[in-house]
Amino acid sequence: GESVGLHLPTLSVQEGDNSIINCAYSNSASDYFIWYKQESGKGPQFIIDIRSNMDKRQGQRVTVLLNKTVKHLSLQIAATQPGDSAVYFCAEKNGGGADGLTFGKGTHLIIQP
Amino acid sequence: ETGVTQSPTHLIKTRGQQVTLRCSSQSGHNTVSWYQQALGQGPQFIFQYYREEENGRGNFPPRFSGLQFPNYSSELNVNALELDDSALYLCASSFTGSGEKLFFGSGTQLSVL
């Protein structure tokens, strides 16, 4: 099975509200995590990343939280906008080698007007 | 836009044929990775090239092969196409050899009939 997955396939939020997208991972050896946004017909777009020696990292309107105890990752988007509508993927990586990123199946974020 | 360009954008092949997909990395990036994304799924790591050599590979058979050129552009070759090879093929580049913080192109949509 996949080592990275998401709790909900679809998340619907009101415009202006905060969104929280969750992700569970199973490989305790993973030390690098990353969130991507993918719009229809486009490749994944980098949002934010975090290493396992951190619990929280903030970007512009986004925050990633990492809980290594329960192997859980979340992406918080503040003041959700229509342009945030997309599929969001979390991905993990084990070590500094060339093993590649392991992606989950994705959460489709829908913004209600 | 990430600066990673892929060609062609769409391609139709028949079972048993061979295909070559091309990618130009973002300026300054020396590492290129290829991912396969089936409909409704997250991308799956095929392999990674650093300094013109494959330095990491996912769970894909040998009929998936690649090249990286001195200008860091890359090709993905797939021989003996199967119906299940129908997918979006994504190229990603980064400026480290670790395969982290990847910047993706928009992909090549391959249909095998």
Among A82, A75, A4, residue whose Cα is nearest residue A36:
A75
Residue A64 in this model has a pLDDT that exceeds 60 = yes
pLDDT for residue A105: 83
Residues of A in contact with B102 (CB under 8 A): 34, 46, 101
Residue B1 in this model has a pLDDT that exceeds 70 = no
Q: Which of A24-28, A59-63, B13-17 has the lowest mean pLDDT?
A: A24-28
**Dihedral sign, Cα of residue A82, residue B44, residue B34, residue A74:** positive
Specify whether the CB–CB gap between B66 and B76 falls below 8 A. yes
Q: Do B48 and A100 touch (CB under 8 A)?
A: yes
Residue A6 in this model has a pLDDT that exceeds 50 = no
* A105 at B interface, C-beta within 8 A: yes
Q: Do A99 and B43 touch (CB under 8 A)?
A: no
Residue A30 in this model has a pLDDT that exceeds 60 = yes
